[in-house]
Structure 1
Amino acid sequence: MKGRHTMTTTAAITAPASLGDGTRSAGERILRSALATAADNLEPLMNIYQPYVEGLANLPADGRFLLVGNHTQLAAAEVILIPYFVRQALGRQVRTLADRQFGKGGGLQASLVAAYGAIIGSPEAAATLMRADEPILVFPGGGREISKFKGEQYQLRWDNRFGFARVAIEHQYPIVTAALVGGDDVYTSLTTRTGLYGRASEWLGRRLNGRADMAMPLLRGVGPTLVPRPQRMYLRFGSPITTVRPPDLSPEDWTHRVKDDTQAQLEADLKDLQQIRCTDPYRALNPLSWRSAATPTSADTDR
């Protein structure tokens, strides 16, 4: 049926690396089991919402790759959708490198991060996962990329973050970009970062946690409320980017090249997906447009 997303099922799911698995509390083990069960039963929901997905054929079959994605205002979208489609395509659980802010608070938040198979991001953690040949997901912009002020939709806030490139080069891990569009359209930002409110929010962030980059804009969703607007999600996995250094480049020059190439590919895919979204009649999940939803033109959604 046109517009219906079809899944490729897998016979078995490869267990993730046991980074601290033996020390998990009973609560974390229960949460992890519940999350795994939920992830394995999302297909009916996916068939209704029909995420637009391209590039599954670009995922290395051995599961040895670093996914580099963009954060959106609806951060749960990328954190759920990217691992879900990798798991459906390859039968592997993606290990997400989470922003340190998500593990600081402890309690349920930290338990959910651990139960989901995520670990707090660091070069050491990434290296451990790579030595175990695990598929890994990282968002170089971190938590600061989630809060979007007016005009910042789908902009990457990487600045001089080269860590993901360095560790991928060290372990010769290919990089696959994972561009997601839709999550920045669930809310409308009412304030700019340089305006009075934006500057005040940055000041408050510095006072509360020492980070001005975690400022929060004023938002609205459905009407004047904070209820997120229904939006279809658009996901593209890019062609693998090699991290094997050519002999004519220094290690530092190659690190910059890999980082710049990754960012350029992700930004180009975000731009393409926004253009696709603009002409998609199902972008706001209108049930009357369900059958005419835009679909990828290539066959790479199946593996």
Structure 2
Amino acid sequence: MQLSADRADRVDAIQKMIFTLADAIAPVVDLSRVYVDGLDGLPRDGRFLLVGNHTVSGWVEVVSIPYFVHRELGTRVRGLATRQLADVTGLARDVLDAAGAVVGDPETAAELMRRNETVLVFPGGGRDMLKFKDEEYQLFWEGRSGFARLAIAHDYPIIPVGLVGGDDVYHSIVERDGTWERMTRGLGRRLHGVTGVGIPLTRGLGPTPIPRPQRMYLRFGTPIETRRPTHVETPDWEATVKERTQTALEAILRDLQEKRSTDPFRHLNPLAWGKATRPSGG
């Protein structure tokens, strides 16, 4: 994570620009009526691990989670990105570095925790973005528990954070394990980098690639304690923390989908703006 002096200055300047802009657009964000709750439960010291769900939109959760944490606590969230980040160069890499993204390997994550920084991870990675027919808001973690191992090792509380809305911007029209998905697994590996997963065929508004207008619903859950009880073996505790986190996140996603189902503003109809469902106290 060491940068040359010139590049460090450049990244620092971009970082200031990003967060100045983030503060300036707050009134515009408020007009969009993003449903967000649970921010008041975040540890005030910023020392926690956010564990979220990826959606087919991809960028919505990557941007909105750090944005609202920064708005609440003034801290920069360090997002653990895929290893492909190491291949990004030039201005794009400088922007990602300035925003807080780092390659999500265990040693980098451990160093961030030793520095008491706020960290964000999506355990499903790219697989969570590659949704097929009727897979909206499902988690594809496939036994991944590295995040739990790191949180336990550094006594980091885990904050499950769920986003609903992103999986409705586009809908897949093909099934997992169907003919198309099986036929495109080789091509999929070259295009999206995930082994054993084909290419979803999606549509947006009607039959077009235009994204559907969707309100976003974001919830920061109750902190999950990771300190291992003395009578519990380390592997068992790691599995327990992973399971508790996944269960809590799945419950958040179910509840947000229920709230959305009766929200007049779910499709961003401006005539329903004033009737939009709001969090308690919001």
Q: Which amino acid aligns with 1:160?
A: G
Q: Does 2:5 correspond to 1:20?
A: no
**Residues 181 and 197 in structure 2, CA contact (< 8 A), matched pair in contact too:** no
Query: Are 2:191 and 1:215 aligned?
Result: no
Q: Could you say what secondary structure the match of 2:162 adopts?
A: strand
Tell me how far 1:62 sits from its aligned partner. 0.8
Match of 1:39 among 22, 40, 44: 22
Ranges in structure 2 where 5+ consecutive residues have no aligned partner: none
Task: Find the counterpart in structure 2 of residue 96 from structure 1.
Answer: 79
Which residue of structure 2 lines up, in the alignment, with residue 160 of structure 1?
143
- What is the alpha-carbon distance in structure 2 between the residues aligned to residue 209 and residue 81 of structure 1? 23
Partner of residue 77, structure 1 = 60
In structure 1, what is the Cα distance between the partners aligned to 2:6 and 2:269? 43
Change in CA separation of 1:47 and 1:121 when aligned onto 2, cut-off 3 Å:
same
Deviation at 1:153, TM superposition (A): 0.7
Structure 1 residue 208, shift from structure 2 partner: 5.9
Alignment match, 2:221: 238
Letter in 2 for 1:135: T
Per-residue CA deviations over 1:8-55 (Å, capped at 9, x if unaligned) read xxxxxxxxxxx4355563664554343223222221221221111111
C-alpha separation between the residues in 2 aligned to 1:151 and 1:239? 28
Which sits farther off after the overlay, 94-103 or 56-65?
94-103
In the alignment, the residues of structure 2 paired with residue 22 and residue 244 of structure 1 have an alpha-carbon distance, to the nearest angstrom, of 37
Aligned partner letter, 1:268: A
TM-score by length of 1: 0.87
1:247-266 residue pairs with structure 2 within 5 A?
247-266=230-249
Of 276, 280, 289, 2:263 maps to 280
Seq. identity, %: 51
Q: In the alignment, residue 160 of structure 2 is paired with which amino acid?
A: T
TM-score, normalised by the number of residues in structure 2? 0.93
Q: Which of 138, 142, 145 is matched with 2:128 structurally?
A: 145
State the Cα deviation string for residues 152-211 of structure 1 (Å, max 9, x = none): 111111112111000100000000011000000001111112111111221213456763
1:176 pairs with 159, 171, 174, which one?
159
Task: State the Cα RMSD in Å.
Answer: 1.9
**Separation in 2, partners of 1:290, 1:210:** 40
**Would you say 1:127 and 2:110 are equivalent positions?**
yes
SS in 1 for 2:160: strand
Instruction: Indicate the structure whose relative CO is greater, using CA pairs within 8 Å and at least 6 residues apart.
Output: 1
| Residue correspondence of structure 1 range 102-117 to structure 2 within 5 A | 102-117=85-100
Separation in structure 2 between the aligned mates of residue 104 and residue 47 of structure 1, nearest angstrom: 35
Contact 1:68–1:139 at 8 Å: present in 2 too? yes
In 2, distance between residues paired with 1:255 and 1:276?
A: 32
Which of 169-178 and 221-230 deviates more?
221-230
> Contact conserved, 1:143 with 1:214, CA < 8 A, in 2?
no
Q: Number of residues paired by the alignment? A: 281
**Equivalent pair of 2:85/2:102 in contact (CA under 8 Å):** no
